[in-house]
Amino acid sequence: MSPRNPAARFADAAERAAGRARHAVRDRVKDIRKEVRRPRTGAKRTVLDIIRQIPAYLRLLGGLLTDRRVSVVDKLLVAAAIAYIVMPIDFIPDYLPFIGEVDDVFLLVTALQRLVSNAGRRVLYDHWSGPRSELSDLNLQRVLQAAAFFLPIGIQRKLRRVAREP
């Protein structure tokens, strides 16, 4: 076939177009890989700090269980949060290093936010042995965002539901 043959010209044009499309797709894949979120060291550090403080948070929740200023509904929430944190098998099993505790932290902070709004910050401070800044709205929100970074959306929704409806 000669280059003047319409079929050959069409085949050459199709091959060039396919080559351009392959290159465009390859370039787009490279761009997407660059855009994919990688764990921020700040988020991981934030979650690890809270994981180390889980015993202090469990003492806080235990104190809230016996406090008369906390409503019965919120006490059920506290009991559910304690059970969830202590149980090794939950949405993400605790035997998985780091990520196994992230869902515990997420639920803990969500429950604390509800308790702050319902029972009041003063009630939480009365049972908290750590620095008060740990229970500030900004810090709780920062921890929640850091934990959410590592959790799939479906698990976040389930944990929020658990924290809202004891």
**What residue type is 52 in one-letter code?**
R
When computed from its CA atoms, the radius of gyration of the chain, rounded to whole angstroms, is 26
Kindly report, residue by residue over 108-120, the tens digit of the pLDDT.
Answer: 888 888 888 888 8
Q: Where are the domains of the chain?
A: 1-36, 41-164
Report the b/e string of 87-97 with b at 16+ CB within 10 A.
Answer: eeebbbebeee
CB contact at 8 A, 77 and 114 = yes
4-13, 32-41, 96-105: segment of lowest average pLDDT = 32-41
pLDDT tens by residue, 70-119 = 999 988 988 888 888 888 888 888 888 888 888 888 888 888 888 888 88
Q: How far apart are CA 50 and CA 150, in angstroms?
A: 14
Residue 1 pLDDT more than 50? no
- Give yes or no for a contact between 113 and 140, defined as CB atoms under 8 angstroms apart: yes
Q: How far is residue 86's CA from residue 58's CA, in Å, rounded to a whole number?
A: 9
Q: How many CA atoms lie within 13 A of 64 on its CB side?
A: 34
Distance (Å, rounded) from C-alpha 12 to C-alpha 29? 26
Position 40 pLDDT exceeds 60:
no
Q: So what's the pLDDT on residue 164?
A: 67
Handedness of CA 165, 146, 90, 123 (dihedral sign): negative
